Amino acid sequence: MENVIVLGSGPAGLTAALYAARANLNPLVITGPDLGGQIATTTDVENFPGFPDGLTGPELTEYMQKQAERFGARFEFDTVTSADLTQPPFKLVGNVEYEARSLIITTGASPRKLGVPGEKELVGRGVSYCATCDGFFFKTKELMVVGGGDSALQEGLFLTKFASKVQVVHRREALRAGYVLQERARKNEKLSFIWNSVILQVLGDKAVKAVRLKNIQTGEESEKPVDGVFVYIGHIPNTDIFKGKLAMDEEGYLIVDGKLHTNIPGVFAAGEVHDKWFRQAIVSSGYGCMAAMETEKYLASLE
């Protein structure tokens, strides 16, 4: 029986583990499939406070994990596939069964797919959702990034370190990314934009060779040669195992109150599993702190 289980190991989960550990709750962190979550696949993290020179996503993950472990947090590399939240103790099932008096859900959100012909077939052969993971393999190649938010521009700029040319495809004529990123992108000679357009198909046999585009204003279709497609068009919350068990909105994000309580007492949520607006590591860390502090109060109330 655990006092608290932290489900997920991104910035929200690692911060929750740190605060719960410092409160002597001896938390168990069930990492999920990827320790560190999305931040662990980011090359340059320049806006996390305390690191004036910046650092990499894997470095930030490692530092946060070690800090939590220093105070007694424990890590289990497992993925939970079902959950019984009908009453405490809450029961989770992965490779083994877990029981906990309280639960902090920080399972985050996963990249949204294009859902077009050729995408699934060419994943790992030119289609990617992680520039950090795959950018190195595209030296001197021509690449396409899909999206118009911070992630699309961040990864597009990163890819210019390897590619000869990066084209950003956006379905609108205005970006959603922050001003600084937009300025960097516009000043980068390797990076250009294709506006008001969507990808209809990814073309290629054993590797990506081209994409078929459609201008959504004119209806005109065209084919553009490209060696790789990197997709950044949003996320889907990782909440499938909680459907019908926890309150969530129409998109599947968990619904919490101002103190991160879900509709079930003793179950809290933190990070991108409920936050669909900010999507920043520091914001998720703040939520992780809040959830751990509320968990401590909840457990104390049971005594």
Q: Is 130 a catalytic site residue?
A: yes
Q: The tokens 């289980």 sit on which residue?
A: 5
Cβ atoms within 10 Å, residue 47: 12
Residue-level pLDDT at 258: 97
Helix extents (H) in 57-207:
57-70, 131-134, 150-159, 179-187
Question: Is it the case that residue 44 has pLDDT exceeding 80?
Answer: no
Question: Which tens digit of pLDDT belongs to each residue from 226-284?
Answer: 999 999 998 899 999 999 999 999 999 999 999 999 999 999 999 999 998 888 899 99
Sign of CA dihedral 30, 73, 281, 300: positive
pTM of the model: 0.80
Buried b (16+ CB within 10 A) or exposed e, 201-225: bbbbeeebbbbbbbeeeeeeeeebe
What is the predicted pLDDT for the residue at 280?
A: 87
pLDDT in tens, 270-288: 999 999 888 889 999 999 9
Domains and CATH numbers, the chain: 2-110+235-302 (3.50.50.60), 113-231 (3.50.50.60)
From the candidates 134, 150, 227, 275, give the one annotated as an active-site residue.
134
Q: What is the mean pLDDT of residues 95-113?
A: 96
Return the H-helix or E-strand segment holding 286.
Answer: helix 281-302
Is the per-residue pLDDT at 5 higher than 90?
yes
Least confident of 29-43, 58-72, 150-164, 196-210: 29-43
CA angle 288, 52, 151 (to 5 degrees): 60
Q: How far apart are CA 285 and CA 58, in angstroms?
A: 16
Among 44, 84, 133, 240, the one annotated catalytic: 133
Percent of the chain with pLDDT over 70: 100
Q: How far apart are the first and last CA of the chain?
A: 16
Q: Is 289 noted as a catalytic residue in this protein?
A: no
Q: What is the pLDDT of residues 130-141, one digit of tens each?
A: 887 788 899 999
pLDDT score recorded for residue 111: 83
* Amino acid identity for residue 121 in this structure: E
Say what the pLDDT of residue 121 is: 94
Name the DSSP letter for residue 35.
T
Specify the pLDDT at position 40: 86
